[in-house]
Amino acid sequence: MSDPVFLTRVVLRNYKSIGYCDVRLNPLTYLVGANGSGKSNFLDALHLVRDALEGSLDTALNMRSGLSEVRRRSSGRPTNFGIRLEFSLKSGQRGHYAFNIGALAGRGYEVQNEECVLGGVGKGPYFRIERGVLQASSETTFPVVTADRLALVAVSGMAVFRPVFDALSAMGFYNLNPKLMRELQKPQEGRLLKPMGENIASVIGDLERVASERLEIIQEYLQTVAPMVHGVERKSIGSMETLEFRQDMAGAKHPWRFPAQNMSDGTLRALGVLTALFQGNRDYAPSLVGIEEPETALHPAASAALREALARAAHHTQVIVTSHSPDLLDDRNLSADSLLAVLSEGGETHIATLDDASRTSMHDQLFSAGELLRLNQLAPDRKALTAQAQAQADLFGEISP
């Protein structure tokens, strides 16, 4: 099986509450921390990259109320933010993509630097752009670039950069919304589940047609999480579509059929999470799936099944989840390596692997991560945070391993 890890390392500077963070990601990464600690901001930085490539930088910033809301507000008043993503493509080729976005004196913003490097600096395809001017590239011809857009969009037509563009655009981020999942939906392209589950009927319909084995996995887990539910399918209603669930009813011989409208929040959210995790087919699958608080509205007893589904999905797709739920993390077999602790101090978010004390007690199976979270003892490693702060690597070029 190919390595599920797409993003190997994420470096962020001045993104919302995150002053600086430099972390490595695993096949399955739990971002754990109190409410308001900055977990969603981390996922949102990755989501912004997806949005900016799929649409434009302008729409990605506008969706977030503009650059002034995205860059970190602090006494130091940083005027720019930066993102560096190190990745490993399905082909095995490694590389990084990085950019800085800064405010312009009047109004608006510009891409100050943008860089994409494959196979190591100077060893494979690359480009480096400064304020809309190409500085260096492995390619002899290069499209026109401008300072208000990401050049990776412009070069996505070039065979050497296409796989980077495709993989970054195939990241999926989810904050499932049962209300939207319940409404009648317009039939649409069902290749990738949308962020709130607003096209879930199309995605389930797509799986029925081209990846029934994946739909079976989804139904199996759904039944463990919501034992009354026996299955789900797409159902058209006039020109619209919805989901229909088969559910046991006391005294009835055959399961009853329920439209999504009558399903509980918990069941709909669970279905959304499972669909996000197992969506795709032989030709197309997300490169990474980020899910906000997958345990919301679920009975604590369903946590074990949810954990298992997350671990199973992470065999084929990289998964990142945010959580502040001790129940979800109540498993002494959960490896400390799969957790990143998120902490807010004085309005600034810090993210790092767990400290030695937590790691040791988890390793010795004295406490599960959930128990440590209940005891308020899941903290980022101070040494790692100091190292991050000291290194404060440049987002560009080769950075220390």
Ligand X SMILES: Nc1ncnc2c1ncn2[C@@H]1O[C@H](COP(=O)(O)OP(=O)(O)O)[C@@H](O)[C@H]1O
SS3 content of the chain, % helix, strand, coil (to 5): 30, 30, 40
CA distances from 371 to 4, 208, 238 (A): 29, 40, 50
Per-residue contact string for residues 33-52; x = within reach of Mg ion by CB under 5 A: -------x------------
313, 319 in Cβ contact below 8 A? Answer: yes
Q: Does 72 bind ligand X (CB under 6 A)?
A: yes
Choose from Mg ion, ligand X, none: what does 37 bind? Cβ within 5-8 Å by kind. ligand X
Report d(CA 201, CA 233) in Å as an integer. 8
- Choose which of 35, 75, 239, 365 interacts with ligand X (CB under 6 A): 35
Q: Does 78 bind ligand X (CB under 6 A)?
A: no
Choose from Mg ion, ligand X, none: what does 214 bind? Cβ within 5-8 Å by kind. none
Angle, CA 254 vertex, CA 252 and CA 255 arms, to 5°: 95
Q: Does 38 bind ligand X (CB under 6 A)?
A: yes
Closest CB to ligand X among residues 44, 206: 44
Closest CB to ligand X among residues 279, 353: 353
- Choose which of 12, 20, 26, 39 interacts with ligand X (CB under 6 A): 39
Q: Does 13 bind ligand X (CB under 6 A)?
A: no
How near is the Cβ of 128 to ligand X at its closest, in Å? 27
Q: Is 332 left (phi over 0), alpha (psi -120 to 50) or beta?
A: alpha
Q: Does 388 bind Mg ion (CB under 5 A)?
A: no
Find tokens 């988890």 and name the residue: 362
Angle, CA 305 vertex, CA 357 and CA 291 arms, to 5°: 70
List, in order, residues 6 or more apart from 275 with CB less than 8 Å away: 193, 197, 200, 203, 204, 207, 218
Please state the φ and ψ torsions of residue 129, each to the nearest 5 degrees: -125, 140
Closest CB to ligand X among residues 40, 185: 40
Choose from ligand X, Mg ion, none: what does 16 bind? Cβ within 5-8 Å by kind. ligand X
Q: Does 40 bind ligand X (CB under 6 A)?
A: yes
How near is the Cβ of 43 to Mg ion at its closest, in Å? 8
How near is the Cβ of 337 to ligand X at its closest, in Å? 21
- Choose which of 26, 29, 41, 219 interacts with ligand X (CB under 6 A): 41
Taking CB atoms, the residue at the shortest distance from Mg ion is 40
User: Considering only 39-47, 118-126, 212-220, 305-313, which stretch makes contact with ligand X by CB under 6 A?
Assistant: 39-47
Question: Token pair of 110, please?
Answer: 């510009």
Give the containing element (helix H, strand E) for 124. none
Q: Is 244 left (phi over 0), alpha (psi -120 to 50) or beta?
A: beta
Which parts of this chain interact with Mg ion (CB under 5 A)?
40
Which parts of this chain interact with ligand X (CB under 6 A)?
16-17, 33, 35-41, 69, 72-73, 322
